[in-house]
Amino acid sequence: MADNDFPGWHGTTIIGVRKGGKVVIAGDGQVSLGQTVIKGTARKVRRISPGGYDVVAGFAGSTADAFTLLERLETKLEATPGQLQRASVELAKDWRTDKYLQKLEAMLIVSDGKDLYVITGAGDVLEPEHDVTAIGSGGNYALAAGRALMNGDLDAEAIARRAMAIAADICVYTNGNLTVETISA
């Protein structure tokens, strides 16, 4: 199959919600190749503890690329314990300038319970304006649903779960098999 014929990998939706002193990052389990579901139980949300400080991270994109980025983030956090923003900016700088890292195709949502960021290969470290952020194939659906649910009585986990359910109903590359991690400040 020629490179231009490759149907491409799809299938991740990750959402981060900050509300009531907690941050929840949730991700679905679907990985698709073209129109075929390859795996429905992938785990794309992880808790890491470099330097004794907990951080929750969710990734969308190529799995191998995301794991490379998570390892780099862990290294940055070990060098700057408890400083998620600084570690995220350092990772984004490396990702933008390093010729090897520039080829990586993934995005991350990370949180230490206080801060919530999206880290991209374009050198961005973005903090959501409305305490909800989402990435991946169904990210825009989850983001819209999450923002709509923020003003109600639901807590962060309930918002994340409902937003992901809505995204799964709309996006064929998203399923309802969730991994959910909660972290407090």
Catalytic residues: 12
What the block records as the tokens of 72 is 């780099």
Q: How many CB atoms lie within 10 A of CB 21?
A: 11
What the block records as the tokens of 179 is 């991994």
What the block records as the tokens of 25 is 């990052």
**How far is the C-alpha of 28 from the C-alpha of 49, rounded, in Å?**
22
Return the SS3 of 119. strand
Return the SS3 of 13. strand
| Contact predicate 124/136, CB 8 Å | no
Q: How many CB atoms lie within 10 A of CB 149?
A: 20
Instruction: With CA atoms as reference, report the closest residue to 179 among 3, 77, 33, 58.
Output: 58
